[in-house]
Amino acid sequence: MTKNDPVSSKVLLVEDNEGFRRNLAGLLKSEFPALLLDEASNGTEAMEKVESFFPNLVFMDIKLPGQNGLETTRRIKAVHPDIHVVFLTSGDYPEYREAARECGARGFLIKGSTTPQQIQDGVEELWTKWQGSCEQSVSNETRNAALK
């Protein structure tokens, strides 16, 4: 995804801190105007939004009220393995990074030390990978249909 990409992508922000969530939403909307964005403040709400909004990318906090972000990510990936999840958290602990990898996260960013440019670069990188996999899937379907 680039700033002027006419194709929209869907991003879900899962963060219990409303101020941080709003700031991140503002950053993403200003950098990616075609972006479709939704928000959740806890794991239960996130699961509902995943089923109704069908995001391509989820920014997930680890520490959430009720069901934490790690468990929410496991549940998302079990049902929708193609959804990319990137953790945004305050704690840069090795055990958090390992747990994030184990539940299928594609990235791990630290609140307060991650720059807006790093977030933008990460979204663009994931968008490029996602677009590539979609194009490959369409190409394979076209080839398979031609062989029938």
What are 32-89's pLDDT values in tens digits?
A: 888 899 999 999 999 999 999 999 999 999 999 999 999 999 999 999 999 999 998 8
- Residues 91, 118, 62, CA angle at the centre, nearest 5°? 30
Q: What is the CATH number of domain 10-138?
A: 3.40.50.2300
Within 10 angstroms of residue 26's Cβ, the number of other Cβ atoms is 11
* DSSP H/E element including 84: strand 84-89
Separation in Å, CA 117 to CA 76, 96, 111, 128: 27, 23, 13, 16
Q: Which residue shows structure tokens 């440019």? A: 117
Among 18-22, 123-127, 138-142, which is the least confidently predicted range? 138-142
Do 3 and 58 form a contact (C-beta atoms < 8 A)? no
Q: What is the mean pLDDT of residues 124-128?
A: 73
CA distance 63 to 10: 23
Per-domain residue ranges of the chain? 10-138
Q: What is the pTM of this model?
A: 0.80
DSSP-based three-state secondary structure for 83: coil
pLDDT at 135 over 70: no
